[in-house]
Structure 1
């Protein structure tokens, strides 16, 4: 029994030791696995930070795919980003090879644990050959360079190999171009657990490479921390160049690869207001313009079938911008509060203006207007309002096509023509009688005519037809026609005329605001609207030759 007990205890002890050994191995495997996963996990670039007032962005997985698909096409790609539209970014990506003998194995997108990066595989013909990957940044709203702050990038799988059939020593140089046009290097951002250092190897460049030749190779395409090198630019840049090559420590190079990510960029959101002050002539040149041409229907008239003339819309290229104006960005409620002022372009594109301002400019006001002021004399007539409300909201960053139209005097919308008819002062007179309104009548004694009056007998009457023609493609509001009856001694008049029957039309005139029958004075219509491309006639009758001042 004791022996049996002893043997059983021995076996239990042996099994326990085996179990402990297996548990130790399993635990060690788990620890190694955990350490391995930690070592090969992408680390956040410490330079991925933005100051207060800046929007922060980075490329999405879709952005990497779109960029790679457009590489070397000279096309800018709209960046989706993750900044909610506050950073209007476009990027053009280009690669440049130093040698035509470089084997370009791959330039594509990899995705590891849901995170994408650009993968570059190369077999260089020698250790000094390189591939440049260039990112050019552009404002999607203005198509001008955009200078991004705290641009941060990371390169992965920067490692070393010196074995049969596999020899390379990765080196990555990352530089940017500032607003001053100078080239600066990215500043190393230390990554915990990374073997990558920043320095100057024999190649003479400043960049990222493996700390020592004894560091192990990294697993490709896994964005591991051990071979991650991260940088950030200390100044705003509009272009970044990543040069992939070798350190120069080894004498030869074989197939090698790295992965790239754009980790961060910052930008103060700008609200952009653009427009053009333009000649709203619809293609009717100064040589063709005629201030007295009221023909808007005949095929031979320059003002017939001109839908873009005086329509308040900038119709390019038929119409062009004009110089001489100043545009102000103001508080609508108090236009004396001016946020920005700009003289429109005198060169190409002529007449254009553009404001780009941060939200802080408005001091929490959202009622923003644009005002145009003209200092010249060539284009005195407006075709649009001089004050435009932009409809500003903090979530909209582009306010384009805030255009202001003008025309020369000869292209004015309104043409007034006065015709007269000598009559014998009947109590009733049918102004619209077709026999009195024949076209091209040259005798004012037979009907309304623009011909001159002669042999007028005192005591006769002169009826007037004033035709207002709106040649424009927009209505004329608040139109008031005024005509002052002649008065003896005023402007050389030898006699006085007075208003006579028939009474003024109450449709066109306010009776109380006009002279009474038999009284001299000013004839004035109501405030009316002349619709676009329309004519309207106004009539009144006067008795000619009164020598007594009735007022």
Structure 2
């Protein structure tokens, strides 16, 4: 005690006659804090476990904070990683309390005990909780986060006497706890929580503190006294929570231990995370079904799920994945992975391995997945299975020795080229082995979404006799299609053909594969996948034509003296730049180069170029004519010109014979050159 404080009003932090009645009153309500957080449909309700308080808290002083601790929770569900930090505004007493430690309160309630000794009433400290996702290491938003702060109390010491540095008749307090709770969204926006509960004497808005300025409200440090409690909840997802703790700045303070005016004494609060919600990690169950009898009763199957990252079998440690049974019976509890967790950041392949005498060529494989609500997963790619948070799928692989399956994908064969351009011959095309190669390179390339009228037909091939009932299906939203036929439908056909039927408004109008594919049917083989059709938009067409020109006075032999460059640089004769200041009667030499920037050979190419004519669709003012020398193909006369091409001295159309372009550096380019005379003044009038 200090002589500057009136003894008649002195109260201490450990005063028992105030705290004990509070404990007796609250004992019947201890179970109130165990209420489960209400979560949206499909979300998990969870809360910190005692392990989480221990991992994030610290028994050391000053505390050693937990960083990147995977939350254990009570449901063993969480993929959330939490970290703590403490930020001090002002200062702490060097010899005072400095704890942030796990503390068990009455009724076995776990908490963080935030025990501080501030040097002045303006000092404060913030405990910050941040949450990340263990799969991506990115911020993880939690929903309906709720927390309670206990022991928000105030200790009134008495009025100053004017001695020992105190001011006469000024009320002094050892401490007056105040707390502000703030959340932050993934965008960094601050969020004020909703007040769910407060002690009767506590303020209705933050900062939360006892409203009395003339007396004490003291609660035992390990109790859950409702008078000193505040509970809040956030109504939007947050990735961080800050709990800022200090003193009411409107009061005066006296440290009863050191006898220092203006210096609050030791004080503490307890922080409890009541609950939070999150979507659970995705679940997957993979099961084997036989729709017809085994070829041999000793045929068995092992279902497998592979991680596409490294092709590892993630189900290799599950004992029940191999079937037992005979005929078409799979013994209950075998041929299944059971339910297990998968990473939402990865893709997986559903497949199977053989056991016993099985030869997989004797069986077809059909895949189907259903969600936990019973709905079917319609856009299913068993080679690229990806589940997200909250998903719980049961997938089956059905083997059948009776049915034939013919399937494929209509895909965008663009090699993942971004910002396509029909005239671009940069390395993103020429050095891209996936672009326009006629092969479905998943996952770099993707299926083309369904357009009304976009179908695939399965029929007998042209020239084959017999009766076959053609079938037509729409492509799926992921570009896939499939046909399932019985042996009676296939009959004795040794081949069938699938035809892509493109609608008139089809954006992907350039084919990289034939629109008719032949499927050869062999004995004991029932599954015929990967009958894929490649298409691209016009801007991604493989054939590029580049036209360049050179203006001259008609007196030189341009074929002998002009180089073949056309890029417009100073040393080049030919240029792609627009012609300006040409005088009627001059000559224009043209060069047209055809370039195959794709990875599929192109054939039956014809170059056509119509010479300008006065009054044509371009409103030309003059008529140009073809002049000597004779048009020529640069590659030893290839491309060549038919007799129908415009003759020397005439106006008309330059036409080449058909030619091909390969995919190698030397074979992917061909060019022609020809000379024209720009119309003279007479025929320009």
Q: TM-score, normalised by structure 2?
A: 0.41
Distance 1:284 1:427, change over 3 A: same
CA contact (8 A) 2:639 2:670 kept: no
1:283 aligns with 2:283: no
Per the alignment, residue 626 of structure 2 pairs with: 499
Structure 2 distance, partners of 1:270, 1:140, is 7
Structure 2 distance, partners of 1:317, 1:93, is 35
Per the alignment, residue 94 of structure 1 pairs with: 333
CA contact (8 A) 1:482 1:525 kept: yes
Given the alignment, which residue of 609, 615, 618 partners 1:489? 615
Cα deviation, 1:134-174, whole Å, max 9, x if unaligned, reads xxxx97522359xxxxxxxxxxxxxxxxxxxxxxxxxxxxx
Per the alignment, residue 305 of structure 1 pairs with: 431
The unaligned stretches of length 5 or more in structure 1 are: 1-53, 83-88, 97-115, 117-137, 146-237, 240-265, 297-301
Structure 1 distance, partners of 2:515, 2:324, is 35
Alignment of 1:83-162 (within 5 A): 94=333, 140-144=364-368
Structure 1 distance, partners of 2:302, 2:366, is 24
1:73 aligns with 2:204: no
Number of equivalences = 317
Given the alignment, which residue of 412, 427, 430 partners 2:541? 412
Deviation at residue 464 of structure 1 after TM alignment = 0.5
CA contact (8 A) 2:638 2:670 kept: no
Distance 1:58 1:432, change over 3 A: same
Cα deviation, 1:406-436, whole Å, max 9, x if unaligned, reads 11222111111111101222473226843x6
Structure 2 distance, partners of 1:303, 1:543, is 36
Per the alignment, residue 393 of structure 1 pairs with: 522
Alignment of 1:318-337 (within 5 A): 318-323=444-449, 324=451, 325-333=454-462
Structure 2 distance, partners of 1:95, 1:477, is 55
Helix, strand or coil at the partner of 2:539: helix
Helix, strand or coil at the partner of 1:372: strand
CA contact (8 A) 1:333 1:367 kept: no
Structure 1 distance, partners of 2:443, 2:302, is 37
Helix, strand or coil at the partner of 1:504: strand
Deviation at residue 78 of structure 1 after TM alignment = 10
Larger RCO (CA within 8 A; separation ≥ 6)? 1
Per the alignment, residue 43 of structure 1 pairs with: none
CA contact (8 A) 1:388 1:402 kept: yes
Helix, strand or coil at the partner of 1:512: coil
The unaligned stretches of length 5 or more in structure 2 are: 1-290, 304-315, 336-355, 357-361, 370-394
Cα deviation, 1:191-249, whole Å, max 9, x if unaligned, reads xxxxxxxxxxxxxxxxxxxxxxxxxxxxxxxxxxxxxxxxxxxxxxx99xxxxxxxxxx
Structure 1 distance, partners of 2:573, 2:301, is 80
CA contact (8 A) 1:427 1:501 kept: no
Distance 1:291 1:430, change over 3 A: same
Per the alignment, residue 297 of structure 2 pairs with: 60
More displaced 10-residue stretch of structure 1: 388-397 or 515-524: 388-397
CA contact (8 A) 1:280 1:308 kept: yes
CA contact (8 A) 2:588 2:677 kept: yes
Helix, strand or coil at the partner of 1:274: strand
Query: What is the alpha-carbon root mean square deviation over aligned residues?
Result: 4.0
1:512 aligns with 2:643: yes
Given the alignment, which residue of 403, 407, 414 partners 1:270? 403
Deviation at residue 487 of structure 1 after TM alignment = 1.2
Per the alignment, residue 352 of structure 1 pairs with: 480
Helix, strand or coil at the partner of 1:385: coil
Distance 1:421 1:277, change over 3 A: same
Cα deviation, 1:256-280, whole Å, max 9, x if unaligned, reads xxxxxxxxxx967211111000111
Structure 2 distance, partners of 1:423, 1:78, is 85
Structure 2 distance, partners of 1:316, 1:502, is 51
Distance 1:78 1:405, change over 3 A: farther
Q: TM-score, normalised by structure 1?
A: 0.51
Helix, strand or coil at the partner of 2:489: helix
Per the alignment, residue 205 of structure 1 pairs with: none
